Amino acid sequence: MATNPPANLALDGGDPRKSSFQVGDGISGIASIEYTKNREVSFEEYMYHAAITRAQEKEANARYIAARGPQTFKSVIKGRFSKGHMEQDAYAEVVGSISRETDEKGHGNDAALQVTGNSSTESYGVTEAQRKTANRALRTASWGTVFYLITTDILGPTGAPWAFAQLGYGPGVALYTVFGAMSYYSGWILWKVFCGLDSDRYPIRGYGDFFFRMFGSWARHFVNLAQALQLLLTVSVIILSNGQSISQISRGSSGESLGICFVACMIIFMAAGFILGQIRTLQRLGWLANLSVWLTVTLVLLCMVSVIYGPNYAAVEASFGLSPGMPIRTYAGTPPPGMATGGVGFVGSLNGLNVAVYAYGGALLFAALLAEMRHPLDFWKSLIVAEIFIYGMYLFFGIFMYSYQGQYTYNPSVQGIAAYGMQTAGNILSLVSNLIAAVLYSNIGLKVVYIEVFHNLLGFPELTTRAGKLWWAALIPLYWAIAFVIAAAVPQFSYIVGLVGALFILSFTYTFPAWLAVGYWIKKDAMIEGEERFDPAAGTYNYVDHGWKRWRRGFMRKPFFNAFNIFYFLGALVTCALGCYSSIESLRQAFQSNIATSLSCTPPL
């Protein structure tokens, strides 16, 4: 998972994820607005309207391509340097023309668009046709654009060399291959579920919406709170990483002095978060996502060039206690004791596995990316091309750096650069991109916590009100302070990254999609075509049966596929448990050996 600015910012006009958390000017509701308030919307109704929307999107996309021409590699590259307003306006015009044609034909009020009390009549001051046109006009991203966004979001190769140093060449390649394939499969699941449940009437805007529609409010609350905790820990990881960067810069080229107190380095970064975190809505930051890709590429090239100076022995000794002076060694299989910094044997391999898991994290944002596509059915193209590119980058960079630095490979690799000048340049590049990333993660994380806990449970005012804005201003410093305490208490970057990866990123990328797949396909295949149907006028679905019999029928329609998804879910849970065990055990050993110190002026590298 990249620690540079999230990919969604590349969509022109601001942070599209605000739609996951905003109603009106944006900050008062996590779930998509359900326009039918007088009854519960069924799974089958979601699917009914999704089928209509997909058909209409297909027509709109075909007209748009006919008018603008098909997308080519040249247009994908050229599109990265355009503002996007012309594309948005052109597509909005196509959508508007289709809506006008529909109304002229008298279809605007037909049964296909009616729900009790909400056909073409106004809902919240907006007519059905207006809402449909507005929703479609916001979906302008092509599959080429989304390929770029997925790459921006996921690509973060600076931990790959350290993972190879714990695993060896063979297991490293195997694990990056397996997790890469599984992350694609998880993305495929989210894509299929999105296409099956998202519609103009009931749009999916965030990850929690998947689980609300499948399992109810409790599942959405659980997923959203897990997401909020993950984002808090991610901010902690970024504070720790950039505290290390500031500490390295402050020590000078000799590296003999301690420089600025390490805790003070993290406080400096936290203070910057206090200030920038006051931004509640993030507008006109699309160019930062474009910049972040080039910053990542520059960092990779910088690290590769730096191998001529040798490893940063001092950082490895300070962080892991591995003494310098040994010949640099690489291994085809798991390195023997004393030749890897992530622990001995099984625990060390699991720590390397955790970093590999962290590398493919990004599925959390797929719902927001899909919500911005004009033709979500093309998402598979974006996903497979992005995954192949990311996989190739991880393998090449990881193997290259491990081949030169061996057991002295450091995580993140930019802080393993021995030459002070190049190290400082890399740290500055990291500081710029990571500060923006931390602000964005804290922005979204606090919104989830505020809405789920403070607003819904404790009755705090909405963030759109003056009182809500004051609470936001007061809670942002508290949020960053909590993240700082977590970061300062565990100054061992690789192990805390592994814990976050095992507990949360693995769950959002592998465990939760598998859980979603089991529920979605069983419920979908339990429907009996011809005997059961949705009545749009009444808003009801005539079920033939309920309960265990229905679930059994749904499972047996695709028994091997559903069994695989259950196996995938259980396997992800086991991997999560093993990853948490290895990270916690390594942290415990680090504290016992005094390698890691809590709230100390002595830097951990």
The single residue listed with the structure tokens 């507008």 is 283
Grouping H, G, I as helix, E, B as strand and the rest as coil, residue 373 is strand
The torsion angles phi and psi of 174, rounded to 5 degrees, stand at -60, -45
Q: Which tokens go with 254? A: 């000799």
Look at residues 495, 181, 497 and name the one whose alpha carbon lies nearest to residue 358.
497
Report the distance separating Cα 321 and Cα 408, nearest Å. 11
Examine the pLDDT at 130 and tell me if it is beyond 70: no
* Per-residue confidence (pLDDT) for residue 33, from 0 to 100: 40
Handedness of CA 85, 90, 91, 92 (dihedral sign): positive
Q: Which tokens go with 510? A: 């592998």
Q: Give me the amino acid identity at 415.
A: Q
Examine the pLDDT at 271 and tell me if it is beyond 50: yes
Examine the pLDDT at 21 and tell me if it is beyond 50: no
Report the distance separating Cα 474 and Cα 468, nearest Å. 10
Q: Regarding predicted confidence, which is higher, 603 or 260? A: 260
Q: Regarding predicted confidence, which is higher, 2 or 593? A: 593
Least confident of 2-16, 148-162, 278-292: 2-16
Grouping H, G, I as helix, E, B as strand and the rest as coil, residue 141 is strand
* Per-residue confidence (pLDDT) for residue 285, from 0 to 100: 47
Beta-bridge mates of residue 123: 126
* Banded pLDDT at 186 (limits 50, 70, 90): very high
pLDDT tens by residue, 570-605: 999 998 888 888 778 877 777 776 665 556 777 765
Average pLDDT over residues 383-407: 92
Q: What is 451-481 written as a DSSP string?
A: IIIIITTT-PPPTTSHHHHHHHHHHHHHHHH
Question: Where residue 249 sits, what CATH number does that domain have?
Answer: 1.20.1740
Name residues whose C-beta falls within 8 Å of residue 197's C-beta, 6 or more positions apart in sequence. 43, 46, 47, 50, 204, 210, 213, 520
**Average model confidence (pLDDT) across the chain:** 77
Categorise residue 284: left if φ over 0, alpha if ψ from -120 to 50, beta otherwise. left
Query: For 421, which DSSP code?
Result: H
Report the distance separating Cα 37 and Cα 429, nearest Å. 49
Side-chain half-sphere exposure of 281, counting CA atoms within 13 A: 19
Report the distance separating Cα 508 and Cα 472, nearest Å. 27
Residue 184 belongs to a domain: yes
Portion of the chain with pLDDT greater than 70, in percent: 74
Q: Regarding predicted confidence, which is higher, 463 or 111? A: 463
Residue 127 belongs to a domain: no
Residue 90 belongs to a domain: no
Report the distance separating Cα 130 and Cα 100, nearest Å. 11
Highest mean pLDDT among 67-76, 267-276, 287-296: 267-276
pLDDT tens by residue, 155-182: 788 889 988 988 899 999 999 999 999 9
* Per-residue confidence (pLDDT) for residue 121, from 0 to 100: 36
CA distances from 441 to 13, 235, 320 (A): 18, 7, 29
Q: Tell me how many degrees the CA angle 574-453-226 measures, rounded to the nearest 5.
A: 15
Residue 65 belongs to a domain: yes
Examine the pLDDT at 460 and tell me if it is beyond 70: yes
Residue 548 belongs to a domain: no
Examine the pLDDT at 8 and tell me if it is beyond 80: no
Q: What is 561-591 written as a DSSP string?
A: HHHHHHHHHHHHHHHHHHHHHHHHHHHHHHH
Q: Give me the amino acid identity at 194.
A: F
pLDDT tens by residue, 419-434: 888 888 888 888 877 7
Q: Are 353 and 175 in contact, with CB atoms under 8 Å apart?
A: yes
Portion of the chain with pLDDT greater than 90, in percent: 18
* Per-residue confidence (pLDDT) for residue 570, from 0 to 100: 95
Examine the pLDDT at 478 and tell me if it is beyond 80: yes
Q: Would you mind telling me the total number of residues written for the chain in this entry? A: 605
Q: Which tokens go with 13? A: 């006009």
* Per-residue confidence (pLDDT) for residue 558, from 0 to 100: 93
CA distances from 353 to 41, 236, 603 (A): 41, 21, 26
Q: Measured in Å, how far apart are the chain's first and last C-alpha atoms?
A: 23
Report the distance separating Cα 514 and Cα 574, nearest Å. 13
* Banded pLDDT at 15 (limits 50, 70, 90): very low
Residue 93 belongs to a domain: no
Q: Are 90 and 374 in contact, with CB atoms under 8 Å apart?
A: no
Report the distance separating Cα 403 and Cα 481, nearest Å. 40
Handedness of CA 539, 545, 548, 554 (dihedral sign): negative
* Per-residue confidence (pLDDT) for residue 492, from 0 to 100: 66
Side-chain half-sphere exposure of 11, counting CA atoms within 13 A: 30
Highest mean pLDDT among 145-149, 286-290, 553-557: 553-557
Average pLDDT over residues 208-225: 88
Q: Are 142 and 369 in contact, with CB atoms under 8 Å apart?
A: no
Query: For 168, which DSSP code?
Result: -
Average pLDDT over residues 308-323: 83
The torsion angles phi and psi of 165, rounded to 5 degrees, stand at -65, -25
Examine the pLDDT at 318 and tell me if it is beyond 50: yes
* Per-residue confidence (pLDDT) for residue 36, from 0 to 100: 47
Handedness of CA 65, 199, 129, 536 (dihedral sign): positive
Give the domain extent around 247: 7-84+140-511+575-592
Handedness of CA 285, 291, 295, 296 (dihedral sign): positive
Examine the pLDDT at 385 and tell me if it is beyond 50: yes
Report the distance separating Cα 64 and Cα 291, nearest Å. 29
Task: Name the pTM for this structure.
Answer: 0.78
* Per-residue confidence (pLDDT) for residue 401, from 0 to 100: 92
Q: Give me the amino acid identity at 47.
A: M
Average pLDDT over residues 72-97: 54
* Banded pLDDT at 132 (limits 50, 70, 90): low
* Per-residue confidence (pLDDT) for residue 105, from 0 to 100: 53
Q: Which tokens go with 158? A: 């600076």
The single residue listed with the structure tokens 């002095």 is 257
Residue 547 belongs to a domain: no
Residue 202 belongs to a domain: yes
Q: Are 458 and 255 in contact, with CB atoms under 8 Å apart?
A: no
The torsion angles phi and psi of 154, rounded to 5 degrees, stand at -90, -40
Q: Tally the domains of the chain.
A: 1
* Per-residue confidence (pLDDT) for residue 119, from 0 to 100: 37
Q: Which tokens go with 87? A: 């594309």
Q: Are 221 and 448 in contact, with CB atoms under 8 Å apart?
A: no
